[in-house]
Amino acid sequence: MLVKVRLILLVFVFSTVHSFSQIKHGLRDELGRHIIPRGFVINTNDHKGEVFFNSDDYVRQVRMGANTQVVRLELGKLSNFPGGKLEPNYLKKLDSLVALGRHSDIKTVFKMTVYGVDKFVWEEFWQNKKNEYQTYMDAWKVIWNRYANEPYVLGYDVVNEPRKLSMDISYEDLTNKYLIPLYQKIIDESQKINPDKMILFQSIFMNKGEKIDNNQYSEITAPINRKNIIFAPHIYQNDISFIKRNMDRFDKESDMLKAPILIGEWGFPTFATTDTIIEGNLGQLKYRELYIRTAEVFDRMGVGSIKAWFLGNRTMQNFLPGGPSTWSIFSDKTDAGTVERKYITDVISRPFPQTIAGDIQSFLFNHATRTLNLNIKTDNSKGASKIFIGANRHYPDGFSIIINDDFVMYYNPLKKVGLEIYKAPEGSNPSDFIWDENSQKLIILKWPFNQEEVNLKILPGIRNY
């Protein structure tokens, strides 16, 4: 039976629980469980045409840790902007992507791009002289009405990478005079139709050469003053020294906005030469280190993150000094793709707490030791918990589960008998811990220590305790 889940904002307060405090990012479902969204951007087309996915592609997403997908919408197939029109077959395609996600326990966020129209001029859009705002919102209303009662649609990223371009205005003034009022209009209209859906929003994408701290997204300095909102900045940082600084700025903005962070897109694009170069400036070792350092900052903050793109490598773009590049995580020249760029996908698919009955206080996966360290405050009244482990890639030698040094279980992939018990405290029930090989998740039906601070570690190998 499908359990209807409505995600709500994580309360933006810090609780005092001894040595750790609850992370402020992430979401809560209607059972009160702490959710960390992670997954991929799903394109409906690329430069060579339409992209199609099947159930096998979604199984692969799940086995890479996905519990959320961001589907890019094409304005030209949903609106009356010049060159655009509503296409019923496109809506059916969107339905199929939502259904594929639902069947794999992956929730959907829709994100509007301005592709597919004859032209989209940001300077004219902001002036709204031809009632462009209403035409834009009418396109969204098609989506809002269609998925208002679909529990597996989490929400809507309403304006993708808004631009200033040639307007004679500061980024701050553009944000305060145009962008935020537009967000408020969109949110108000959306919540008339589906008030429980989340609205994701971004800041202005600055013009080329106008980066601050190597960050091309301008700062939001004024509140939106609406409920059910999520700050969804992008980070395509290629300088390790700026990663934490950029994220600290986003964190400051989220405090002011009273909205948790979900990184809407991340991961510096891969150059065509990277697949064959191991070391050097554009080599795989550099990319692996860059992705690891970015992932560590995400995990320490507790933010969810969506990686671009779950695609094969049919096309490349040529706008960076390093030559042709792509965000595709697969290197084969098919639309969905199957050949992973392992130097980045193993980082993307790292272990993490997906759904926790209780409060996540901190978590971090150490790539060198292959250890997930998770601190939580448990609450069995909220139901089951799920931890993505990805043993197929991270623990081919098996893994051990240690909780407070009192509860120890392990999985031996050679024996294929599920989890085995080394030590369990009196009154606990090891059968509450289930290893799901298909989804690569550890499912905890009930914590052995309720309403307590718990440290859980996932370690490589079958330990001799």
Average pLDDT over residues 346-374: 98
Q: Is the pLDDT of residue 166 over 90?
A: yes
DSSP, res 427: T
pLDDT band at 285 (very low <50, low <70, confident <90, very high): very high
> So what's the pLDDT on residue 224?
98
pTM value?
Answer: 0.94
Judge contact between 405 and 448, C-beta under 8 A.
no
Show the beta-strand stretches assigned E in 148-295: 153-157, 198-201, 229-231, 234-235, 262-266, 270-271
Give the whole-angstrom CA distance, residue 311 versus residue 329.
6
Containing H/E element for 183?
helix 180-193
Report the alpha-carbon angle 285-288-293, nearest 5. Answer: 125
> So what's the pLDDT on residue 426?
87
> So what's the pLDDT on residue 12?
39
Q: Supply φ then ψ for residue 108, to 5 degrees.
A: -115, 135
> So what's the pLDDT on residue 23?
85
* Coil, strand or helix at 406: coil
Contacts of 284 (CB under 8 A, 6+ apart): 274, 275, 277, 278, 343
> So what's the pLDDT on residue 464?
56
> So what's the pLDDT on residue 2?
37
Percent of the chain with pLDDT over 70: 95
Positive or negative, the Cα torsion across 297, 301, 307, 308? negative
Judge contact between 28 and 306, C-beta under 8 A.
no
Judge contact between 261 and 301, C-beta under 8 A.
yes
State both tokens at 323.
């030559």
Give the whole-angstrom CA distance, residue 157 versus residue 111.
4
> So what's the pLDDT on residue 4?
43
* Coil, strand or helix at 430: helix
State both tokens at 134.
């209403």
Average pLDDT over residues 198-208: 97
Contacts of 344 (CB under 8 A, 6+ apart): 267, 270, 287, 288, 291, 329
For 53-88, the pLDDT digits (tens) are 999 999 999 999 999 999 999 999 999 999 999 999
Mean pLDDT of the chain: 93
> Which residue is associated with the tokens 């809002």?
144
Q: Identify the structural domains of the chain with CATH numbers, from first to last.
A: 36-349 (3.20.20.80), 359-460 (2.60.40)
> So what's the pLDDT on residue 282?
81
Average pLDDT over residues 397-406: 94
Distance of CA 162 to the CA centre of its chain: 20
Q: Is the pLDDT of residue 412 over 50?
A: yes
Give the whole-angstrom CA distance, residue 53 versus residue 338.
12
Give the whole-angstrom CA distance, residue 160 versus residue 45.
16
Give the whole-angstrom CA distance, residue 74 versus residue 391.
37
pLDDT band at 15 (very low <50, low <70, confident <90, very high): very low
For 92-121, the pLDDT digits (tens) are 999 999 999 999 999 999 999 999 999 999
> So what's the pLDDT on residue 21?
54
* Coil, strand or helix at 411: strand
State how far the alpha carbon of 127 is from the alpha carbons of 65, 165, 180, 189, 202, in Å. 42, 13, 14, 20, 19
Q: Is the pLDDT of residue 6 over 60?
A: no
> So what's the pLDDT on residue 47?
86
Positive or negative, the Cα torsion across 319, 320, 325, 326? negative
> So what's the pLDDT on residue 37?
97
